[in-house]
Amino acid sequence: MMNTVLMLLAACYLVVVMLFWRNKAQLSKPVDYAIGLALWPLLLLSTVLSKEVDAVYLHIAAYICFGVIPLILALQYKVVTAQILQYPAKNNKIWFPALIVWVSFVSLFAVPPEMLPTLLQAPSAGQLLTNWPVYLIHLATGFAVLLLSVAASEQVQRYHHYLTDQVVDPPEHRIRKMQHGLAFVVASALLSVTLVVVNAFAILEIQQWSLLNSILFMVALLVLLTVVVLPHHSIPSPLDYNLLENGRKSKAVLQQTIEQTHQAIIEYKLYKKVGLTIAEVAELAKVDPTTLAKATREINQQKFRRFIYEYRLDYAKKVLLRSDTNIADVAKRLGLNSKIFLDEVLVEHLRNFKS
């Protein structure tokens, strides 16, 4: 049964390699992704060795391969943030979980050499005082995966939260598959920690729990490597989220930003552009994207998406009043997929205009 599972994982890995070869151009950090992808087979190899071979040094090497797991995750964290942030901050803290896992390997020196083969190949449930080095390594790895996957998930959630501050058409740029993949890794890490704890305290006695835990990590990482390389339309955010929420700009600066933006929108007819982003508008208006996002919030009481929609709706109103163009054609011009949506918002806009 386990051999079949390992063969399936190997086959899935080859599929991910092909996906990477086909989609690598969309990645902002293809080298970091490739390194993480190249490290994954070490986990498969270490699992096979620990399952089939009796040599002590190979079992030790297999456990040391656990240190690869947080390294792969840290590399994918860099890949993910580069996909959703135009200026990702350097974060050396992402390597700290890997350091903790590597330090945990020192605990193996506390085990008498004659006990290592049994302990590493088939650690039994319970016997906490005897088996604690193995439990420590598995727990350290589980928490490392949890910390890194939660950190990456938070970045993706922030990206989605501020999407309407930077694009006019948010559905086109959402990365749900990546979000769901990271959620799976978080759930796998929690399951791993639970599996180790229930076996350490003999709450449940699960046969080959360490092998199951290794496979769980391999599956979680393979899922993450897959969702990161799948085709998506994320757009790196030029916004400084902290400045947007907590920074201060004078009303005069914000008002001037709105005026410059208004001139650029009218001059270049940006309201007609499908897939318009705040970076494009800011570049043409010669303003800072974060200041523009802040200005639309504080001066116009709108997010960027709604700010541009006011221009789009005003344009749609003028076209409909001055010509025989039907509303479906106007919706198509503006890149709106839903005629019903345009009906509703245009009626609201006209009511506000009359009042």
Domain assignment of residue 302, given as a range: 241-354
On whether both 89 and 129 belong to a single domain, the answer is: yes
Give the end of a domain, one of 209, 229, 249. Answer: 229
Query: Helix or strand or coil: residue 341?
Result: helix
Tally of domains in the chain: 2
On whether both 210 and 96 belong to a single domain, the answer is: yes
> What's the CA angle centered on 297, arms 296 and 301, to 5 degrees?
95
The predicted pLDDT at position 353 comes to 45
On whether both 288 and 340 belong to a single domain, the answer is: yes
Torsion of CA 51, 57, 63, 64, to 10 degrees: -140
Give the end of a domain, one of 200, 229, 258. Answer: 229
The predicted pLDDT at position 196 comes to 93
On whether both 208 and 342 belong to a single domain, the answer is: no
Q: Do 41 and 9 contact (CB within 8 A), yes or no? A: no
On whether both 260 and 195 belong to a single domain, the answer is: no
Residue 46: C-alpha distances to residues 1, 79, 104, 141 (Å): 18, 25, 18, 15
On whether both 287 and 218 belong to a single domain, the answer is: no
On whether both 245 and 225 belong to a single domain, the answer is: no
Per the domain annotation, does 263 fall within a domain? yes
On whether both 80 and 115 belong to a single domain, the answer is: yes
Structure tokens at 45: 């190899």
Per the domain annotation, does 236 fall within a domain? no
On whether both 126 and 71 belong to a single domain, the answer is: yes
Stretches in the chain below the pLDDT threshold 70 = 50-59, 117-119, 121-122, 324-328, 330-355
Per the domain annotation, does 36 fall within a domain? yes
On whether both 33 and 10 belong to a single domain, the answer is: yes
The predicted pLDDT at position 142 comes to 96
**Overall pTM surpassing 0.85 (yes/no):** yes
The predicted pLDDT at position 354 comes to 44
Q: Taking each helix axis from N to C terminus, what angle separates 176-200 and 128-161, rounded to the nearest 10 degrees? A: 160
Per the domain annotation, does 326 fall within a domain? yes
Per the domain annotation, does 235 fall within a domain? no
